Structure 1
Amino acid sequence: MSTAKAPRPKRNFSSLAPLTTKTLVDQVVDAIVEATAKGIFLPGDRIVEAEVARSLNVSRIPVREALRLLESQGVVVSERYRGMRLMSVNIDRLEKTLKVRLALEKLAGAEVIARAMADPAILAPLEDIVTQMHAAADAGDGFLVASLDTAFHLCLCELSDNDTLVRTWKPLSRQLTIIFGLSTLKKDIKAIVAEHDDVIDALRKGDRSAFDKLMEVHILEYSRAVDYEKLVEQLRMLEHRDNTD
């Protein structure tokens, strides 16, 4: 004797909870990254969970989760018996990070150039970000320039239409925002934006060799021009002087 299956109820997506733009943990992560990029927290500083929670007026739970996420992305490092510390910006660490980034973005550029030859309009999102970067530079907003700088390079990777490449690049994004942010304390932010005009121009022309050479300068040479360790030392001395005045 066969039994008839009960009809499957229709899915009612309206009963699901609405999506939120950012969770509290995400907001805590963003606050820590922004403070570090602006030189408020400094690379190598100890991050005390209770102090961050108190400053942001949140419980320690989202701070703890935020620090775990940042640890997985290399922004903070857990040291036995010493707690969490912000990533260092020594030359060796930066070189390794930037060389990986360069390899990924050269590959992204090659794939974007191939796609843009068939449809130049795919470069529009990059052009829009650079327009925003110019406006941020005109307003003197170094952190916004740094955030948009990260968004530009993520967008370049996303336009490659290579999911594996994007998943490999993304964990570096918050480290890069910090590095970009610190560089705006030393470099002319309008010059930083102008570098991105050159990147888009190379993509439009479709010259992969020229693009690769430009990216070597943009990612490696310009970054090497900033002595991040010395910059952090100077900021630490200024902080100490302000605290003792």
Structure 2
Amino acid sequence: MKPRTLVDQSADLIIDAASEGVFLPGDRLVEADIARQLGISRVPVREALRLLESQGVVISIPYRGMRLMSVTNPTAASIARVRSALEAMAVRDCVAHASDEALAEVREAARLYRASATAEPTVQRRADRAFHRAICVATGNATLLATWSAIARQVAVLWSLVHSEDGTGMLADQHDAIVDAMQARDAAAAVERLETHLAPVMVVDFEAVLHRRMAERGN
């Protein structure tokens, strides 16, 4: 897999800012303001916004500029279903084809997520994304990884509205259970554990949560 570029890193910084509540869904994203807030130059920010637009995370509206994706319950459900299907495919591919060394990397990503329990929420979210990304990397399927990466950034915007560090221990246990089944080469158990792990996001009322977050911010 090719190394991550400065544009990719800038895109992740924008996602991190969204996860911290700096940007909420529907907010206008101004290139110069983002560069100043994140402490990076405008060129990678400009390219990162274009990348995020291609991935559906940022929407360009004529005469209104670029805005972070809107969130509705139907769109959230669609994103969650696609993410679940992609990761289930990745888990099956890993069980069938991934080397023991590749699965050991997934185990290490699970360990690092557990170690993030005492870190700030942004670090925990990054570690969670890194675990799920490690599963996709372990497949060796670049197309699957690229597709997942686009969906994952949309998921990150959704998850930032509801993620709580209080659940880190439970999620870490679920990560370990998924890896246990993958290393045992038990595809059915691994997929079942993955689906259990991802299921809670399916029933969140994101519209209500977003309304509350905007009210707290004073919108």
Verify same fold: TM over 0.5: yes
* Residue 160 (structure 2) pairs with residue 181 (structure 1): yes
Query: Are 2:11 and 2:52, in contact at CA under 8 Å, matched by a contact in 1?
Result: yes
- C-alpha change, 1:78 and 1:224, in structure 2 (3 Å) is same
Equivalent residue for 1:229? 207
Equivalent residue for 2:115? 135
Residue in structure 2 matching 1:212, options 191, 194, 203:
191
Q: What CA RMSD, in Å, does the superposition of the two structures yield over aligned residues?
A: 2.5
Q: Distance in 1 between matches of 2:107 and 2:85?
A: 22
Equivalent residue for 1:16? none
Equivalent residue for 2:130? 151
- Which sections of structure 2, spanning at least 5 residues, go unmatched? none
Query: Are 1:149 and 1:180, in contact at CA under 8 Å, matched by a contact in 2?
Result: no
- C-alpha change, 1:147 and 1:180, in structure 2 (3 Å) is farther
Amino acid across the alignment from 1:74: G
Query: Are 2:83 and 2:152, in contact at CA under 8 Å, matched by a contact in 1?
Result: no
Residue in structure 2 matching 1:96, options 70, 73, 78:
78
* Residue 43 (structure 2) pairs with residue 68 (structure 1): no
Query: Are 1:132 and 1:148, in contact at CA under 8 Å, matched by a contact in 2?
Result: yes
Spell out, residue by residue over 1:172-203, the C-alpha distance to the aligned partner (whole angstroms, 9 max, x if none). Answer: 23223333433324862222222211211221
- C-alpha change, 1:86 and 1:186, in structure 2 (3 Å) is farther
Spell out, residue by residue over 1:53-79, the C-alpha distance to the aligned partner (whole angstroms, 9 max, x if none). Answer: 343455544432221111111111011
Query: Are 1:142 and 1:189, in contact at CA under 8 Å, matched by a contact in 2?
Result: no
- Once the two structures are TM-superposed, the CA of residue 240 in structure 1 deviates from its matched residue by 1.1
Of structures 1 and 2, the larger Rg is shown by: 1
- Once the two structures are TM-superposed, the CA of residue 124 in structure 1 deviates from its matched residue by 0.9
Amino acid across the alignment from 1:209: A
Q: Distance in 2 between matches of 1:96 and 1:187?
A: 26
Amino acid across the alignment from 1:80: P
- C-alpha change, 1:127 and 1:47, in structure 2 (3 Å) is same
* Residue 64 (structure 2) pairs with residue 82 (structure 1): yes
Q: Distance in 1 between matches of 2:25 and 2:197?
A: 23
Amino acid across the alignment from 2:18: T
Q: Distance in 1 between matches of 2:66 and 2:165?
A: 27
Q: TM-score, normalised to structure 1's length?
A: 0.77
Equivalent residue for 1:8? none
Identical counterparts, % of pairs:
38
